[in-house]
Amino acid sequence: MEELYEELISYTNKDYYPMHMPGHKRNTELLQMDNPYGIDITEIEGFDNLHQPEGILRSLSERLARLYGAGKSYPLVNGSTAGILAGISAAAKPGDTVLIARNCHKSVYHGAMLRGLKPIYCYPQKLEQMPVNGGILPENIKGLLMEHPETRLVVITSPTYEGIVSDIRAIAEVVHRYGALLFVDEAHGAHFGFHNAFPKSAVTQGADIIIQSLHKTLPAMTQSAVLHCNRDELNSKLQKYLAVYQSSSPSYVLLAGIDRCICLLEKKGTELFEIYYGLLREFYASVEELSNLKIVDTVFLGRDGVYDIDPSKLTITVHGTELTGHELQVLLREQHHIELEMASFDYVLGMTSIADTREGLTRFAKALLSIDRNLGNQGKKQSALGNNHGFTPEIVILPGEAMESQSEAVKFRESAGKISAAFISQFPPGAPLLVPGERIDQELVTYIDKIRQEGITITGLIGESMDEIEVVKL
Ligand SMILES: Cc1ncc(COP(=O)(O)O)c(C=O)c1O
């Protein structure tokens, strides 16, 4: 029996509504495709070559560049991950210093490690009373560049997973003044710039290299993404490294999905974003009645590095209620057949896109209101943990050195004081809580232990019970 296929068919025939990616939301009224087997080919005559595009795939790149206003754009079939690895490799040479925002996705660290770069970190601001990160301050980047004038590349994530946007124009200005390049991981911002209610894309705000996951916030299939480059001199290296990190057999089904997605935006983008924003406004208006659960909204604008907020991300905190984020996720799944994108200890996240329906968003709002009313009857309890992003582990050795060093497995609970040889991340989204080469702190061990017990997935631990960590053997 085809276990996975049967399961997928059975699940998708049920009435679960996806508040998660991919951004097409399985909305087959908006987008359809022939049976994928019928169009799955390889680089035969007339269908070009992604690694050396001269025909139909070059035209796809040019259309992407026009749509986003980029110097040059590269469609990707191995997700933003491949674009991040290629972008970092093209922009920095082995031994270069790279300034990384510490809340970046693990692929940024992988890129730095593969190229033997020396990372220095910039920490995002913390949002007051909210368990999510704020933005990156231009003045903090400036301070680090003054301290490390040899820095060649700055990599930041904007928007964050929760939709917090930093001041890219100001950051780009600082970075360029100090002779470095700015790479913006805009994996969650492929929908930016199509409507003025959404933030502007880093592509038009002075960034040099930008990646976007089309599959996260637009109607495109999983793994489809785009890399934009606004610096001509980087293009030949980018092309070389994209061939290193991407499959030599890129899927024409995924490429056709990118084609259909951008065709939809070219022809009906304005209309679809207008309808979508209308639905979001209805959603936000109806959840104003929430009295226990809270929505992260524009009250944070202008504070804590928050330059803009993406309204497409529905971040709901459970802070001060008797529920954890994971418990809210389970209630939504079991009682309302709504599947969220992510649940953390203190909050949950729902993702939306132009493929959402009024029925779906109304169902989500009603479910939250109903859960919220029941919470009201049960009294409040403070959550056991505060802000989960306040960790600043000590860097003892470079990540690459730690990965290559002799290591041993020890019980995670007894690992405080040792140097991690592993990436430990909460998944999703995959920004590491601990990077190889960093000292393990008791507070972090307690935190990770606690959220694991709450059912939150932590990647990077090993052993049969996933209760061990690889540490540097001293
Ligand atoms: C901020 C960020 N960057 C990059 C990635 C990697 O993107 P992809 O899954 O398209 O490879 C992710 C994935 O979740 C992410 O959240």
- What burial letters (b/e) apply to 194-209, b meaning 16+ CB within 10 Å? bbeebbbbbbbbbbbb
Residue 218 pLDDT grade (very low, low, confident, very high; cuts 50, 70, 90): very high
Q: How far apart are CA 407 and CA 107, in angstroms?
A: 22
Q: Residue 308: CB within 6 Å of ligand 1?
A: no
Quote the tokens at residue 128: 């007051």
Q: Is 110 close to ligand 1, i.e. is its CB under 6 Å away?
A: no
The CA distance from 451 to 343, in Å, is 10
pTM for the complete prediction? Answer: 0.95
DSSP sequence for 232-250: GGGHHHHHHHHHHHS-SS-
Q: Is 97 in the pocket of ligand 1 (CB under 6 A)?
A: no
Closest CA to 468 of 421, 419, 407, 415: 415
* Residue 300 pLDDT grade (very low, low, confident, very high; cuts 50, 70, 90): confident
pLDDT (tens digit per residue) in 301-359? 889 999 999 999 999 999 889 998 999 999 999 999 999 999 988 899 999 999 999 99
430 lines ligand 1 (CB under 6 A): yes
Adjacency order of strands within the sheet including 458-459: 432-434, 424-426, 458-459
Mutate to test the pocket of ligand 1, among 105, 106, 344 (most ligand atoms within 8 A of CB): 105
Q: Hey, what are 398's tokens?
A: 């470079």
Q: How far apart are CA 90 and CA 12, in angstroms?
A: 40
> Closest residue (by CA) to atom 16 of ligand 1?
429
How far does residue 224's CA lie from ligand 1's centre (Å)?
11
Listed in sequence order, the DSSP H helices in 148-234 are 168-177, 214-217
Ligand 1 touching residue 105 (CB < 6 A): yes
> Which phi-psi region, left, alpha or beta, contains residue 211 (left: φ > 0; alpha: ψ -120 to 50)?
beta
Backbone angles phi, psi at 472, to 5 degrees: -70, 130
Structural domains of the chain, ranges and CATH numbers in brackets: 36-261 (3.40.640.10), 269-378 (3.90.1150.150), 399-472 (3.90.100.10)
Ligand 1 within 6 A of CB of 187: yes
Across the chain, what does the average pLDDT equal? 94
Identify the three-state secondary structure at position 425: strand
Please give the single-letter amino acid code of residue 265: L
Identify residue 105 by its one-letter amino acid code: H
